[in-house]
């Protein structure tokens, strides 16, 4: 029982830190290839893009936020994966 209470306390503290710091924690990452019919609120339909995209969903401590990055397997002209922590100013 103490372990459960301690785990809940740690989750509440982590959530509070996210709220104060403005950081975001990655929840899901989806690779969208050109031509795939995927619509993302705030970014529109990604099917018309000539380059693949990464759709990253983050938890802010209060809500979920979606960010889209260009995908590049070599990490030069885009990102090869979503950043695990993403500041609210960096998106």
For residue 90, CA distances in Å to 9, 23, 34, 51, 86 come to 29, 9, 25, 21, 6
CA distances to 21, 51, 61 from 13, in Å? 12, 39, 10
Rounded to the nearest 5 degrees, what angle is found at the Cα of 90, between the Cα atoms of 77 and 24?
115
Between 14 and 56, the more confident residue is 56
Instruction: Write out pLDDT tens, residues 36-55.
Output: 888 888 888 888 888 999 99
Q: What is the pLDDT of residues 8-32, one digit of tens each?
A: 999 999 888 888 888 899 999 999 9
Q: How is residue 18 written in tokens?
A: 């996210």
* 88 in Cβ contact with 24 (< 8 Å): yes
Among all chains, which residue has been given the structure tokens 């990452």? 29
pTM of the model: 0.80
């Amino acid at each position: 029982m103490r372990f459960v209470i301690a785990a809940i306390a740690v989750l509440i503290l982590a959530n509070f830190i996210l709220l104060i710091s403005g950081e975001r924690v990655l929840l899901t990452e989806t690779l969208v290839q050109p031509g795939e019919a995927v619509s993302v609120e705030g970014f529109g339909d990604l099917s018309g893009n000539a380059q693949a995209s990464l759709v990253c969903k983050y938890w802010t401590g209060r809500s979920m936020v979606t960010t889209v990055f260009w995908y590049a397997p070599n990490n030069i002209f885009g990102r090869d994966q979503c950043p695990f922590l993403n500041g609210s100013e960096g998106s």
